[in-house]
Amino acid sequence: MMEKGVNGILLSDKGVGETSHGVVKKVRALFREGGPVKVGHAGTLDPFATGLLIILVGEGTKLSRFIMSEDKVYLATVELGIETDTLDPTGRILRTSRVPNLEHDFIRASAGRFVGKIRQVPPAYSALRHEGTRAYKLARKGLDVALRAREVTIHALDIVEIDLPLIFMRIRCSSGTYIRSLAADLGRDLGPGGHLRELRRIKSGPFDVENAISSSEMGDKACGEIISKRVISLPDALPHMEEIFIDRALARRIRQGYQPSWKELTAAQEGKIAMHHGPHGGWIKLVGNGKLAAIIRVFLGEETNEIRAKVERVFSA
Protein backbone atom coordinates (compact mmCIF):
# COMPACT_ATOMS: atom_id res chain seq x y z
CA MET A 1 0.00 0.00 0.00
CA MET A 2 1.38 3.39 -1.00
CA GLU A 3 1.89 5.99 1.71
CA LYS A 4 -0.73 8.75 1.81
CA GLY A 5 0.10 12.43 1.55
CA VAL A 6 3.44 11.98 -0.20
CA ASN A 7 4.94 15.26 -1.40
CA GLY A 8 8.27 15.86 -3.09
CA ILE A 9 10.25 14.63 -6.09
CA LEU A 10 11.26 11.21 -7.39
CA LEU A 11 14.33 10.59 -9.55
CA SER A 12 13.58 8.26 -12.45
CA ASP A 13 15.84 6.85 -15.16
CA LYS A 14 13.66 6.94 -18.26
CA GLY A 15 14.12 4.10 -20.70
CA VAL A 16 14.40 4.40 -24.48
CA GLY A 17 11.05 4.45 -26.30
CA GLU A 18 9.08 5.72 -23.31
CA THR A 19 7.48 9.14 -23.22
CA SER A 20 7.94 11.42 -20.23
CA HIS A 21 4.16 11.44 -19.82
CA GLY A 22 4.19 7.64 -19.84
CA VAL A 23 6.52 7.59 -16.84
CA VAL A 24 4.26 10.08 -15.07
CA LYS A 25 1.28 7.80 -15.68
CA LYS A 26 3.14 4.86 -14.12
CA VAL A 27 3.92 6.84 -10.99
CA ARG A 28 0.39 8.22 -10.78
CA ALA A 29 -1.00 4.69 -10.96
CA LEU A 30 1.22 3.60 -8.07
CA PHE A 31 0.26 6.51 -5.84
CA ARG A 32 -3.43 6.29 -6.69
CA GLU A 33 -3.81 3.48 -4.15
CA GLY A 34 -3.03 5.94 -1.37
CA GLY A 35 -5.62 8.42 -2.65
CA PRO A 36 -5.72 11.06 -5.42
CA VAL A 37 -2.36 12.76 -5.95
CA LYS A 38 -0.98 15.18 -8.50
CA VAL A 39 2.02 13.91 -10.50
CA GLY A 40 4.07 15.76 -13.10
CA HIS A 41 7.65 16.07 -14.33
CA ALA A 42 10.33 18.74 -14.60
CA GLY A 43 11.86 18.80 -18.07
CA THR A 44 10.67 16.57 -20.90
CA LEU A 45 12.89 13.89 -22.42
CA ASP A 46 12.11 12.83 -25.98
CA PRO A 47 11.07 9.16 -26.43
CA PHE A 48 14.38 8.20 -28.07
CA ALA A 49 16.33 9.76 -25.16
CA THR A 50 17.09 8.15 -21.82
CA GLY A 51 18.22 9.26 -18.40
CA LEU A 52 17.22 11.48 -15.52
CA LEU A 53 13.59 12.53 -15.46
CA ILE A 54 12.53 14.29 -12.27
CA ILE A 55 9.01 13.29 -11.26
CA LEU A 56 7.02 15.78 -9.17
CA VAL A 57 4.62 14.32 -6.60
CA GLY A 58 1.83 16.09 -4.70
CA GLU A 59 2.94 19.53 -3.55
CA GLY A 60 6.16 18.80 -5.46
CA THR A 61 4.33 19.82 -8.65
CA LYS A 62 4.69 23.41 -7.42
CA LEU A 63 8.49 23.09 -7.69
CA SER A 64 8.54 22.75 -11.48
CA ARG A 65 9.93 26.17 -12.46
CA PHE A 66 12.46 26.18 -9.64
CA ILE A 67 13.87 22.79 -10.64
CA MET A 68 13.67 23.29 -14.40
CA SER A 69 15.82 26.42 -14.19
CA GLU A 70 18.87 24.34 -13.21
CA ASP A 71 21.73 23.40 -15.55
CA LYS A 72 21.69 19.97 -17.22
CA VAL A 73 24.41 17.49 -18.17
CA TYR A 74 24.01 15.16 -21.17
CA LEU A 75 25.87 12.41 -22.98
CA ALA A 76 25.15 12.80 -26.68
CA THR A 77 26.03 10.90 -29.85
CA VAL A 78 26.05 12.83 -33.12
CA GLU A 79 25.93 10.94 -36.39
CA LEU A 80 27.40 12.87 -39.31
CA GLY A 81 26.24 12.49 -42.89
CA ILE A 82 22.51 12.10 -42.20
CA GLU A 83 20.12 15.01 -41.63
CA THR A 84 16.52 14.46 -40.51
CA ASP A 85 13.51 16.75 -40.18
CA THR A 86 13.29 16.13 -36.42
CA LEU A 87 17.08 16.40 -35.95
CA ASP A 88 17.02 12.97 -34.29
CA PRO A 89 16.75 9.28 -35.38
CA THR A 90 12.93 9.27 -35.34
CA GLY A 91 12.57 11.70 -38.21
CA ARG A 92 12.41 11.57 -41.99
CA ILE A 93 15.79 11.65 -43.72
CA LEU A 94 16.20 14.90 -45.62
CA ARG A 95 19.75 14.58 -46.89
CA THR A 96 22.69 12.20 -46.80
CA SER A 97 26.32 13.12 -47.43
CA ARG A 98 29.66 11.39 -47.56
CA VAL A 99 31.61 11.87 -44.35
CA PRO A 100 35.25 12.70 -45.08
CA ASN A 101 38.07 11.62 -42.81
CA LEU A 102 37.93 14.72 -40.63
CA GLU A 103 40.91 15.47 -38.42
CA HIS A 104 40.12 15.09 -34.74
CA ASP A 105 41.60 18.50 -33.96
CA PHE A 106 39.31 20.03 -36.59
CA ILE A 107 36.27 18.42 -34.93
CA ARG A 108 37.31 19.57 -31.46
CA ALA A 109 37.92 23.10 -32.71
CA SER A 110 34.47 23.18 -34.29
CA ALA A 111 32.85 21.91 -31.08
CA GLY A 112 34.72 24.55 -29.10
CA ARG A 113 33.01 27.32 -31.06
CA PHE A 114 29.71 26.32 -29.45
CA VAL A 115 30.93 26.82 -25.88
CA GLY A 116 29.63 29.91 -24.11
CA LYS A 117 26.54 31.96 -24.82
CA ILE A 118 25.17 31.06 -28.24
CA ARG A 119 22.09 31.81 -30.34
CA GLN A 120 20.13 28.64 -31.04
CA VAL A 121 17.02 27.98 -33.14
CA PRO A 122 14.80 25.38 -31.43
CA PRO A 123 13.70 22.37 -33.53
CA ALA A 124 10.47 22.69 -35.51
CA TYR A 125 9.45 19.41 -33.87
CA SER A 126 9.28 20.81 -30.34
CA ALA A 127 6.60 21.65 -27.79
CA LEU A 128 7.24 25.38 -28.09
CA ARG A 129 4.28 27.41 -29.28
CA HIS A 130 4.26 29.10 -32.67
CA GLU A 131 1.38 31.54 -33.17
CA GLY A 132 -0.54 29.82 -30.37
CA THR A 133 -0.04 26.23 -31.55
CA ARG A 134 2.54 23.64 -30.54
CA ALA A 135 5.30 23.75 -33.15
CA TYR A 136 5.40 19.96 -33.62
CA LYS A 137 1.70 19.90 -34.53
CA LEU A 138 2.32 22.39 -37.33
CA ALA A 139 5.45 20.56 -38.48
CA ARG A 140 3.57 17.25 -38.68
CA LYS A 141 1.10 18.90 -41.06
CA GLY A 142 3.98 19.89 -43.32
CA LEU A 143 3.72 23.58 -42.46
CA ASP A 144 6.80 25.76 -42.20
CA VAL A 145 7.65 26.58 -38.60
CA ALA A 146 10.08 29.45 -38.16
CA LEU A 147 10.92 29.59 -34.47
CA ARG A 148 12.99 32.49 -33.24
CA ALA A 149 16.58 31.96 -32.19
CA ARG A 150 17.20 32.38 -28.49
CA GLU A 151 20.23 32.62 -26.25
CA VAL A 152 21.38 29.56 -24.32
CA THR A 153 24.63 28.79 -22.55
CA ILE A 154 26.89 25.81 -23.22
CA HIS A 155 29.08 25.73 -20.11
CA ALA A 156 31.20 22.81 -21.34
CA LEU A 157 31.30 20.60 -24.43
CA ASP A 158 33.80 17.75 -24.22
CA ILE A 159 34.47 15.35 -27.08
CA VAL A 160 34.65 11.97 -25.35
CA GLU A 161 35.35 9.84 -28.43
CA ILE A 162 35.42 10.10 -32.20
CA ASP A 163 34.58 7.09 -34.38
CA LEU A 164 33.36 8.64 -37.60
CA PRO A 165 30.65 9.07 -38.56
CA LEU A 166 29.90 9.12 -34.82
CA ILE A 167 30.99 11.79 -32.35
CA PHE A 168 30.44 11.17 -28.63
CA MET A 169 30.11 14.25 -26.42
CA ARG A 170 29.49 15.29 -22.82
CA ILE A 171 27.62 18.58 -22.52
CA ARG A 172 26.81 20.82 -19.57
CA CYS A 173 24.33 23.48 -20.53
CA SER A 174 21.70 25.91 -19.32
CA SER A 175 18.03 25.11 -19.06
CA GLY A 176 16.24 25.46 -22.39
CA THR A 177 19.11 24.16 -24.52
CA TYR A 178 18.10 21.82 -27.34
CA ILE A 179 20.80 19.21 -27.83
CA ARG A 180 19.14 18.21 -31.13
CA SER A 181 19.74 21.71 -32.47
CA LEU A 182 23.29 21.68 -31.14
CA ALA A 183 23.99 18.38 -32.90
CA ALA A 184 22.56 19.61 -36.21
CA ASP A 185 24.48 22.90 -35.98
CA LEU A 186 27.73 21.04 -35.27
CA GLY A 187 27.10 18.75 -38.24
CA ARG A 188 26.60 21.70 -40.55
CA ASP A 189 29.67 23.45 -39.17
CA LEU A 190 31.75 20.34 -39.89
CA GLY A 191 30.39 20.09 -43.44
CA PRO A 192 28.47 16.83 -43.97
CA GLY A 193 25.57 17.71 -41.65
CA GLY A 194 24.27 15.37 -39.00
CA HIS A 195 21.64 14.54 -36.41
CA LEU A 196 21.45 13.57 -32.75
CA ARG A 197 21.53 9.78 -32.73
CA GLU A 198 21.47 9.14 -28.97
CA LEU A 199 20.92 11.27 -25.89
CA ARG A 200 21.17 10.54 -22.17
CA ARG A 201 20.59 13.08 -19.41
CA ILE A 202 22.85 12.26 -16.49
CA LYS A 203 22.40 15.33 -14.27
CA SER A 204 19.83 18.02 -13.59
CA GLY A 205 21.00 20.61 -11.09
CA PRO A 206 22.32 18.73 -8.04
CA PHE A 207 20.62 15.44 -8.95
CA ASP A 208 22.35 12.51 -10.68
CA VAL A 209 20.86 9.65 -12.68
CA GLU A 210 22.98 7.25 -10.61
CA ASN A 211 20.52 7.81 -7.75
CA ALA A 212 17.44 7.30 -9.91
CA ILE A 213 15.02 4.38 -10.14
CA SER A 214 14.68 2.69 -13.53
CA SER A 215 11.34 3.59 -15.09
CA SER A 216 10.93 -0.06 -16.06
CA GLU A 217 10.54 -0.88 -12.36
CA MET A 218 7.79 1.65 -11.85
CA GLY A 219 5.14 -0.49 -13.45
CA ASP A 220 5.55 -3.10 -10.71
CA LYS A 221 3.04 -2.43 -7.94
CA ALA A 222 5.10 -4.58 -5.58
CA CYS A 223 7.75 -1.86 -5.71
CA GLY A 224 5.23 0.85 -4.83
CA GLU A 225 6.15 1.11 -1.16
CA ILE A 226 9.88 1.18 -1.97
CA ILE A 227 9.33 3.93 -4.53
CA SER A 228 7.25 5.89 -2.03
CA LYS A 229 10.18 5.85 0.40
CA ARG A 230 12.51 7.14 -2.34
CA VAL A 231 10.55 10.38 -2.68
CA ILE A 232 12.78 13.34 -1.77
CA SER A 233 11.09 15.79 0.61
CA LEU A 234 10.18 19.31 -0.51
CA PRO A 235 13.00 21.08 1.41
CA ASP A 236 15.57 18.51 0.23
CA ALA A 237 14.37 18.88 -3.38
CA LEU A 238 15.99 22.33 -3.37
CA PRO A 239 19.38 21.59 -1.75
CA HIS A 240 21.22 24.55 -3.27
CA MET A 241 18.56 27.10 -2.40
CA GLU A 242 19.28 29.18 0.68
CA GLU A 243 16.83 28.72 3.54
CA ILE A 244 15.38 30.60 6.45
CA PHE A 245 13.88 28.74 9.39
CA ILE A 246 10.62 30.16 10.72
CA ASP A 247 8.35 29.14 13.58
CA ARG A 248 5.03 27.34 13.19
CA ALA A 249 2.96 30.46 13.82
CA LEU A 250 4.63 32.44 11.03
CA ALA A 251 4.50 29.44 8.69
CA ARG A 252 0.76 29.14 9.29
CA ARG A 253 0.21 32.88 8.61
CA ILE A 254 2.21 32.72 5.37
CA ARG A 255 0.17 29.73 4.21
CA GLN A 256 -2.92 31.84 4.85
CA GLY A 257 -1.66 34.61 2.57
CA TYR A 258 0.48 36.76 4.83
CA GLN A 259 3.43 38.58 3.16
CA PRO A 260 6.28 38.88 5.69
CA SER A 261 8.93 41.58 5.47
CA TRP A 262 12.63 40.78 5.05
CA LYS A 263 13.35 42.23 8.50
CA GLU A 264 10.68 40.01 10.04
CA LEU A 265 12.11 36.90 8.38
CA THR A 266 15.68 37.57 9.43
CA ALA A 267 15.05 39.01 12.91
CA ALA A 268 15.39 35.67 14.66
CA GLN A 269 18.20 34.34 12.50
CA GLU A 270 21.71 33.92 13.82
CA GLY A 271 24.04 35.98 11.67
CA LYS A 272 23.24 37.63 8.38
CA ILE A 273 21.78 35.88 5.36
CA ALA A 274 23.32 37.02 2.11
CA MET A 275 21.14 37.64 -0.91
CA HIS A 276 21.35 34.85 -3.45
CA HIS A 277 22.59 35.96 -6.87
CA GLY A 278 23.01 32.46 -8.33
CA PRO A 279 20.86 30.49 -10.76
CA HIS A 280 17.87 30.59 -8.41
CA GLY A 281 17.38 34.28 -9.17
CA GLY A 282 17.15 35.43 -5.58
CA TRP A 283 14.85 32.62 -4.38
CA ILE A 284 15.01 31.50 -0.75
CA LYS A 285 12.99 28.72 0.89
CA LEU A 286 11.15 29.22 4.17
CA VAL A 287 11.16 26.10 6.32
CA GLY A 288 9.00 25.68 9.39
CA ASN A 289 9.04 22.57 11.59
CA GLY A 290 11.02 20.69 8.95
CA LYS A 291 8.46 21.39 6.22
CA LEU A 292 8.61 23.77 3.27
CA ALA A 293 6.21 26.63 3.93
CA ALA A 294 7.03 28.89 0.99
CA ILE A 295 9.58 30.14 -1.51
CA ILE A 296 10.27 33.85 -1.53
CA ARG A 297 12.08 36.09 -3.98
CA VAL A 298 14.50 38.60 -2.47
CA PHE A 299 15.30 41.84 -4.28
CA LEU A 300 16.34 45.44 -3.74
CA GLY A 301 13.58 48.03 -3.64
CA GLU A 302 13.94 50.59 -6.44
CA GLU A 303 13.24 53.65 -4.30
CA THR A 304 14.55 52.68 -0.86
CA ASN A 305 17.35 50.37 -2.02
CA GLU A 306 16.42 48.14 0.89
CA ILE A 307 16.14 44.36 0.74
CA ARG A 308 12.58 43.26 0.17
CA ALA A 309 10.89 39.86 0.05
CA LYS A 310 7.92 38.61 -1.94
CA VAL A 311 6.26 35.22 -1.47
CA GLU A 312 6.42 33.41 -4.83
CA ARG A 313 4.91 30.02 -3.90
CA VAL A 314 3.16 28.63 -0.83
CA PHE A 315 3.15 24.96 0.16
CA SER A 316 0.50 23.37 2.31
CA ALA A 317 2.44 20.17 3.09
The CA distance from 224 to 242, in Å, is 32
Radius of gyration of the chain (CA): 22
Cα 37 to Cα 31: distance, rounded to the nearest angstrom:
7
Task: Give the integer Cα–Cα distance in Å for 261 and 311.
Answer: 10
* DSSP code per residue over 238-283: -TTS-EEEE-HHHHHHHHTT----HHHHHTTSSS--PPP-STTTTE
As a whole number of angstroms, the distance between CA 144 and CA 114 comes to: 26
Beta-strand relationship, 194-204 and 72-80: antiparallel
Catalytic site positions: 46
Hey, is 317 helix, strand or coil? coil
Cα 165 from chain centroid (whole Å): 29
Per-residue burial over 188-205, b = 16 or more CB atoms within 10 Å of its CB, e = otherwise: eebbbbbbbbbbbbbbbb
For residue 99, give the DSSP letter. Answer: -
Cis peptide upstream of residue 165 (ω within 30 degrees of 0): yes
